[in-house]
Amino acid sequence: MTQLSLLHSLSPFSSLSRFSITPPPRFSLPSFSIRAMTSHIVGYPRIGPKRELKFALESFWEGKSSAEELKQVAADLRFSIWKQMAEVGIKYIPSNTFSYYDHVLDTTAMLGAVPPRYGWNGGEIGFDVYFSMARGNASVPAMEMTKWFDTNYHYIVPELGPNVKFSYASHKAVEEYKEAKALGLDTVPVLIGPLSYLLLSKPAKGVDKSFSLLSLVEKIVPIYKEVVAELKAAGARWIQFDEPSLVLDLEALQLQTFTNAYSELESSFSGVNILIETYFADVPIQTYKAVTSLKNVAGFGFDLVRGTRTLNFLKSGFPSDKYLFAGVVDGRNIWANDLAASLCILQVLEGIVGKDKVVVSTSCSLLHTAVDLVNETKLDKEIKSWLAFAAQKVVEVNALARALVGQKDQAFFASNATSHASRRSSPRVRNENVQRAVVALKDSDHRRATSISARLAAQQKKLNLPILPTTTIGSFPQTIGLRKVRREYKAKKITEYDYVNAMKEEISKVVKLQEELGIDVLVHGEPERNDMVEYFGEQLSGFAFTVNGWVQSYGSRCVKPPIIYGDVSRPRAMTVFWSSTAQSMTRRPMKGMLTGPVTILNWSFVRNDQNRHETCYQIALAIRDEVEDLERAGINIIQIDEAALREGLPLRKSEQPFYLEWAVQSFRITNCGVKNTTQIHTHMCYSNFNDIINAIINMDADVITIENSRSDEKLLSVFHEGVKYEAGIGPGVYDIHSPRIPSTEELADRINKMLAVLDNRVLWINPDCGLKTRKYSEVEPALRNMVAAAKLIRTQLASSN
């Protein structure tokens, strides 16, 4: 079978059942795979092409299916993934990249680093403890969740301290290796390396700030040794240690910790090949030298897509006895690889490191891409020809590996060249009017004309809000019935009239509920929206959409990023009708809800044929048109969410100022022309904001709502340090990603902690994030308690004056 026919026909998931009970057969490798000795995949999406894992997880959490049924779905998915890679001809197939929730949490389980509040008493960690750490339970909150480097994936942050008693408590890596081996597949088990694990962790509550998490390396290395020993005993020939933290600007102590850890592990590496894998950026030159000087390590993996300087580092020297795992196929975007260009790079690398030492790989795990293009039967054919999802990228990797050893598939390469030529010449990609509008932006910094204090005074005079005003972030629960109405309307099974009436009825219900709860600033609940980015992209030019292009965000939460293939503009108003309808139902202020340009950019698959900031400016102009229409329609509070602004921050400090400059300017472009009395809100999701607080201030929003509760009020520490923030701010008072309902007393305590560092005249009271994923049975009591807590504190403040 040619690579071209594989690309178009291979879909290993076609027979995947939801709760299969038939064990998969032992797998026989195809004959051509023996010759394709130089291909490797860093990792693969775990959710399934049609979100099979999501549905299995949620069924288990709701008590509708058993643990054994969940495990069977997981086993089916793993088998299908391994089978696909083997059939294509991949030599180094990863295992232990599957996870029921998060791979960092899996490592926490492996090391037995369970916080005491979960009541774990030793032994193999099971689902009860594992999912309690991830999601919380009725009595204790979940562990903190934050962004995985500069991606939209969220990981569960380990909580560590000097008293953690590490132990080998999850044998998942070994079990999955054995599972694959029983199927006839020799895989490469993947572990998060000790340095990255410690740098991704945080001090547990109550741990002295002077305590160095890096000092724990001597406690966790022995467990890594146990894991390596078990994998060797099981027959593993390669083990992959993922150390993405190596691409950061490491301090001397951090780099020394890495060197010390692997020196200590060196004795256990005898008899097995070790791969140190890095991704998401260049490895700094000093780190590069330290990494490539490691003994008893067989290979090093580098990102040659985002790591634009890596090739020069390799030219300066690479150990002659090591393998180079060359990440030339982009693991973070969905555009087809330029095979001819990649092959040229690989041939240059062969000249540097030796003919038999180059292994063709992905730039990072394919976790960050959609699963399989074969499932996209409705996607525009021209645009589809420009794309490659995870399954297709596996084929691209092996095609390049085969070409490198003289087995080039001429038809496959020719087809690839044709698709690239089609994209370059397509008239649907460029819009001269949009290009000119972006050029015209460069003459202004797009700030509002008056100061924040003057605007807030004018807004308060008009809105007359109480101190500690309450609000929510935007969305309300999306019920099964609501999703059914949207689905039927999209399929043209109901009329537009019926659809609009159904949405109005839902909006009315949400408005009445908020009024009954006593919330001060209302939202319409966003019943018409499938996703905060996709909804807008569907109404903007230059966007394309998939049916099954799902990507995991966290746990069972998946998103379907739009594809930005061309210049962006707004043909017509997008939200004005719904916001105006909602405002007509109440005398309280109704927020107009928009997604900001930086978030639309960062949560989309972005075109790679022009600079990202140029595309962001185009989106900003489109959102500006919508803001001005909302204001004209009488909407006095407009929220422009920038949930992903921090997410796009480059990992290297030298590249961050330029990103923050154009990202902040893009936000200001959207609202620089509104009146003083129009209040501009923004919202940001789970991330560490303290290091970009000046950029947040520079956004010049009137009010910002931000994640806080799940991170132990970590955000508030920046205000302890004397940062002057004059705008309104709403640090979330409870975590919406957990089903747990906080009490009024707990919420009042959190508000008091905020008032210790924030003036009551600027503090807003709100949840952490939108309520879309929660049930009304959780939302109503949580919001009721939130409003009660705000009223309690207002009374206390009034009596103290």
Task: Give the C-alpha separation, 279 to 267, whole Å.
Answer: 26
**638 φ, ψ (degrees, to nearest 5):** -125, 120
Residues 420 and 458 in one domain: no
Question: What's the pLDDT tens digit per position in 519-542?
Answer: 999 999 999 998 899 999 999 999
Q: Are residues 536 and 682 in the same domain?
A: yes
Considering the domain architecture, whether residues 253 and 317 belong to the same structural domain is answered as yes
Note whether residue 12 is domain-resident.
Answer: no
Name the residue range of residue 768's domain: 450-800
Contact 108, 156 (CB under 8 A): yes
Helix (H, G, I), strand (E, B) or coil at 184: coil
Q: Do both 594 and 502 map to the same domain?
A: yes
* Active-site annotation holds for 720: no
State how far the Cα of 367 lies from the Cα of 42, in Å rounded to an integer: 9
| Structural domain ending residue among the three candidates 425, 440, 463 | 425
CA distance 16 to 77: 7
Where is 340: in which H helix or E strand? helix 339-353
531 and 405 both lie in a single domain: no
Considering the candidates 154, 420, 613, 737, report the single residue annotated as catalytic. Answer: 737
Above pLDDT 90, what percent of the chain?
84
Q: DSSP letter string over 100-147?
A: SS-HHHHHHHHTT---GGG---SSS--HHHHHHHHH--SSSPPPPEEE
The HSE-up count of residue 145 (CA atoms within 13 Å, CB side) is: 26
For the cut 60, the answer to whether the pLDDT of residue 32 exceeds it is no
DSSP 61: H
Listing from the earlier edge strand, what are the strands of the sheet with 541-544?
541-544, 563-569, 605-606
In a domain, 134, yes or no: no
Same domain, 493 and 587: yes
Confidence at 120, pLDDT banded by 50, 70, 90: very high
In a 3-state reduction of DSSP, which class is residue 773?
A: coil
Beta bridge partners, 361, equal 327
Written as one string, the DSSP assignment of 714-751 is: GGGHHHHTT----SEEEE-SS-TTSS----HHHHHHHH
Band the pLDDT of 6: cuts 50, 70, 90.
Answer: low
| Strand, coil or helix: 383 | helix
The annotated binding site for L-methionine is made up of 473-475, 526, 641
Residue 210 sits in a domain whose CATH number is: 3.20.20.210
Longest CA–CA separation in the chain, Å: 83
Same domain flag for 520 and 393: no
Residues recorded for the chain = 801
State whether the Cα torsion 195-200-203-208 is positive or negative.
Answer: positive
Question: Binding site for 5-methyltetrahydropteroyltri-L-glutamate: residue ranges?
Answer: 54, 152, 557-558, 603
The model's confidence at residue 21, banded by pLDDT at 50, 70 and 90, is: very low
- Return the residue matching tokens 């690989």: 346
Give the tokens for residue 23: 């064990």
Structurally, how many domains does the chain consist of?
Answer: 2
pLDDT in tens, 162-206: 999 999 999 999 999 999 999 999 999 999 999 999 999 999 999
Q: Which of 390, 425, 460 is the last residue in one of the domains?
A: 425
Identify the CA nearest to 554 among candidates 281, 76, 148. Answer: 148
Strand 551-554 vs strand 557-559: parallel, antiparallel, or unpaired? antiparallel
Phi, psi of 176 (to 5 degrees): -70, -35
How far is residue 459's CA from residue 675's CA, in Å, rounded to a whole number?
Answer: 10
pLDDT of residue 15: 42
Q: Which of 629, 611, 627, 527 is nearest to 564 (CA)?
A: 611
Number of C-beta neighbours around residue 490 at 10 A: 11
Which has more confidence, 61 or 737? 61
Q: What is the mean pLDDT of residues 132-150?
A: 92
Q: Which residues pair with 335 in a beta bridge?
A: 387
Instruction: Report CA 202 to chain centroid distance, whole Å.
Output: 19
On whether residue 190 sits in a domain, the answer given is yes
Residue 261 lies in a domain: yes
Per DSSP (E only), the strands in 570-714 are 591-595, 605-606, 637-641, 679-684, 703-706
Q: What angle, 0 to 180 degrees and rounded to 10, lies between the N-to-C axes of helices 390-404 and 410-425?
A: 120
Residues 387 and 474 in one domain: no
253 lies in some domain: yes
Helices (H), 360-451: 381-384, 390-404, 410-425, 432-440
**Contact at 8 Å (CB) between 383 and 349?**
no
Question: Which of the residue ranges 259-273, 551-565, 630-644, 710-724 would you say has the lowest mean pLDDT?
Answer: 710-724
In a domain, 307, yes or no: yes
pLDDT surpassing 50 at residue 34: no
Taking residues 686-696, what's their average pLDDT? 76
Q: Are 501 and 452 in contact (CB under 8 A)?
A: no
* 606 and 470 both lie in a single domain: yes
Q: What string of H, E and C letters represents the secondary structure of 455-520?
A: HHHHHHHHHCCCCCCEECCCECCCCHHHHHHHHHHHCCCCCHHHHHHHHHHHHHHHHHHHHHHCCC
Q: Which residues carry a binding-site annotation?
A: 54, 152, 473-475, 526, 557-558, 603, 641, 683, 685, 707, 769
Closest CA to 482 of 510, 519, 514, 513: 510
* Structural domain includes residue 115: no
Residue 433 tokens read as: 């009017």
In a domain, 148, yes or no: no
**Angle between helix 252-265 and 285-292 (nearest 10):** 10
Residue 395 and residue 354 share a domain: yes
pLDDT at 355: 84
CA nearest 715: which of 735, 736, 734, 732?
A: 732
- 389 with 525, same domain: the answer is no
Helix, strand, or coil (residue 562): coil
pLDDT of the residue at 800: 84
Cβ partners under 8 Å of residue 416, min gap 6: 336, 337, 338, 339, 340
Residue in 38, 48, 45 with CA at minimum distance from that of residue 90: 38
- 45-49, 533-537, 643-647: range with lowest mean pLDDT: 643-647
Could you tell me if 421 and 470 lie in one domain?
A: no
Q: Which of these, 371, 367, 402, lies nearest to 388 by C-alpha position?
A: 371
Annotated binding-site members for Zn(2+): 683, 685, 707, 769
Residue 132, pLDDT score: 97
Among 408, 425, 442, the domain-final residue is 425
Determine contact, residues 780/484, Cβ cutoff 8 Å: no
